[in-house]
């Protein structure tokens, strides 16, 4: 009889290098289910169409144009349209409540499309103008204070939280502080704040914004397809 202790045996062995390689592999993030809701903020009415405060509306119109959909169905106090982006349903919306009451429409949209609080950073994207960012810039944030923006303040109030994904479109005038001060000293009216936001943009500024709207559309597609982290990594480092 053979001695069992003398029988050859084999042991499966995983090297430390292999374990390290496995640990370094990126963990796939779970994609959200259900439609995305992309809301652009602005004011309804022809007198506001080309104003800086309507940059969010302009962004929705650009996405709708590229996706060949119409944003004209009235629901949840907004004009809406359904697009298909990265094989996901995306609801494009422009609230008709005027800027200061944007939260009423956003809250209604979240209820309509069953977006729970923990999903707001993945399935809700709000596009709006930002006076504190210079014209030509785009910034993506997952949370934060309204920073003086009435539409963002309305959304935060309606949702009871700052935890929602937003793309801020810079519309701030490219004027250094010295130029503003010099203008005031010479008696010239240098507009800012509400006056600036609600006056039609110049052709030169609209040309700059036109390029930005294409970038916003790309950012939205990246969020839908790859998630907000990938979009922030791409767009926040550019500007």
3-state SS assignment for residue 90: strand
DSSP3 helix / strand / coil % (the chain, rounded to 5): 45, 20, 35
3-state SS assignment for residue 227: coil
CB neighbour list of residue 225: distance below 8 Å, 6 or more residues apart:
85, 86, 88
Cβ atoms < 10 Å from Cβ of 194: 11
Cβ contact 99:53 at 8 Å: yes
Strand ranges of the sheet holding 88-95, from the earlier edge strand across to the other edge: 73-75, 78-85, 88-95, 36-40, 124-134, 165-172, 138-141
Q: Is 53 a catalytic residue?
A: yes
For the chain, the residue count is 239
Sign of the dihedral through C-alpha 63, 67, 71, 77: negative
186: region left, alpha or beta (phi > 0 left; psi from -120 to 50 alpha)? alpha
Cβ contact 197:131 at 8 Å: yes
Q: Which of 9, 13, 16, 53 is catalytic?
A: 53
Catalytic positions: 53
């Amino acid at each position: 009889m053979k001695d069992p202790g003398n029988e050859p045996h084999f042991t499966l062995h995983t090297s430390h290098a292999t374990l390290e390689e496995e640990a370094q592999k990126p963990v796939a993030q779970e994609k959200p289910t259900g439609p995305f809701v992309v809301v652009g903020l602005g004011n309804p009415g022809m007198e506001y169409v080309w104003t800086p405060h309507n940059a969010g509306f302009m962004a929705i119109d650009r996405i709708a144009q590229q996706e060949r959909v119409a944003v004209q169905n009235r629901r949840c106090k907004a004009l809406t349209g359904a697009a298909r982006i990265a094989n996901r349903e995306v609801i494009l919306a422009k609230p008709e409540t005027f800027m200061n009451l944007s939260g009423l429409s956003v809250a209604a949209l979240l209820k309509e499309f069953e977006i729970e609080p923990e999903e707001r950073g993945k399935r809700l994207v709000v596009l709006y103008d930002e006076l504190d960012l210079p014209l030509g810039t785009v910034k993506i944030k997952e949370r934060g204070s309204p920073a003086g923006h009435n539409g963002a303040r309305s959304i935060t109030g309606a949702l009871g939280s700052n935890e929602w994904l937003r793309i801020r479109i810079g519309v701030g005038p490219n004027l250094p502080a010295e130029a503003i001060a010099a203008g005031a000293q010479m008696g010239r009216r240098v507009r800012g704040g509400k006056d600036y936001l609600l006056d039609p943009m110049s052709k030169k500024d609209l040309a700059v914004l036109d390029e930005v709207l294409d970038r916003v559309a790309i950012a939205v597609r990246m969020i839908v397809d790859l998630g907000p982290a990938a979009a922030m990594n791409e767009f926040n480092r550019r500007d």
